[in-house]
Amino acid sequence: MDQDRDDGAWASAVPSPPGGGAVSRLQTLCADATRALSAVGVGVSVMAADGGYGMAAASDLATERIEELQFTFGEGPCVDAFASRRPVLIADLDDQGARRWPVYTPAVYKAGIRAVFAFPLQVGAAQLGVLDVFRTHAGTLSRAEIGQAVAFSDLAVTTLLDGQDQAHGEHDVDGAIEHGAALWQAQGMVMVMLGVTLAEALVRLRAHAYTTGRRLSEVAADVVAGRLHFDRDHS
């Protein structure tokens, strides 16, 4: 492929929004982006400035679990991209990740991930979340691939906004952040159990998820369902 064609080819490589609800459309988008960007997986998360989050969609279950690690540990490219409102492009986790994210990096490295590229989802001053691209090989994105990733990110923004504007029942975008709402409820419950701040309650939940090797959303669901209780002696 010649350079002129390479510079503009990404535009035609990004599909038009498929039909269906917001969640199914985001899942299709993630699958398309995975193929277009030579990735092992792509995930989209919705986030809020106050720490709330929700897994919107992922290309597959393995990617969903990798995506959620950032919220379990409270660190990672997705978290930084949202906070800085700028892409975080980590071409080699071996070189750049360990010092920056000492807990997150070993976990995703163990899962076979060697490069992560996070693109914030925003429109004007409004921040919606982040699109993450995961690769099992180190290496930078080409200029054309960055263009593709930005185009997929723009399409994700459109899909999320459409999901807020239209009622799709169980397929509405609100359903994509259901476990994020459960996390907030669990935080409140742990706050009362331990007599701590909401921020400290989140730290305790994350610590429990980390020490037990479980997903943060699973721990939150157990707290809300009454299957897991924290007391003042709980580590």
The confidence score (pLDDT) of residue 163 equals 60
Q: How far apart are CA 231 and CA 235, in angstroms?
A: 9
The confidence score (pLDDT) of residue 232 equals 77
Q: How far apart are CA 33 and CA 15, in angstroms?
A: 9
Dihedral angle over CA of 143, 110, 74, 116, nearest 10: 0
The confidence score (pLDDT) of residue 105 equals 95
Residue for token pair 């997903």: 215
The confidence score (pLDDT) of residue 12 equals 41
The confidence score (pLDDT) of residue 178 equals 54
Q: Give the list of residues 6+ apart from residue 67 with CB closer than 8 angstroms, or none.
A: 43, 45, 55, 58, 78, 132
The confidence score (pLDDT) of residue 89 equals 97
Q: Where in the chain are all domains bearing CATH 1.10.10?
A: 177-225
pTM of full prediction above 0.95: no
Determine the straight-line distance between the first and last CA of the chain, rounded to whole angstroms.
57
Looking at residue 16, what DSSP letter applies?
P
Burial class of residue 34, CB neighbours in 10 A (0-12, 13-18, 19+) = buried
Q: What DSSP string runs through 139-164?
A: -PPPHHHHHHHHHHHHHHHHHHHHHH
Q: Give the list of residues 6+ apart from residue 173 with CB closer than 8 angstroms, or none.
A: 22, 23, 46, 56, 159, 160, 163, 164
Class of domain 17-173: alpha beta
Fold category of 177-225 in CATH:
Arc Repressor Mutant, subunit A (1.10.10)
Looking at residue 215, what DSSP letter applies?
-
Q: How far apart are CA 18 and CA 32, in angstroms?
A: 11
The confidence score (pLDDT) of residue 159 equals 87
The confidence score (pLDDT) of residue 51 equals 66
Six-digit token string for 170: 């169980």
Q: Where in the chain are all domains bearing CATH 3.30.450.40?
A: 17-173
Question: Tens place of pLDDT for every residue, the chain, 235 residues?
Answer: 444 434 443 444 444 444 557 788 899 999 999 999 999 999 999 887 766 677 889 999 999 999 989 988 989 999 999 999 999 999 999 988 888 999 999 999 999 999 999 999 998 888 889 999 999 999 999 999 999 999 999 999 988 887 654 544 444 555 555 555 677 778 778 888 888 877 678 778 877 876 787 877 788 888 888 899 988 765 4
- With contact defined as beta carbons under 8 Å apart, do 30 and 39 qualify? no
Looking at residue 209, what DSSP letter applies?
H
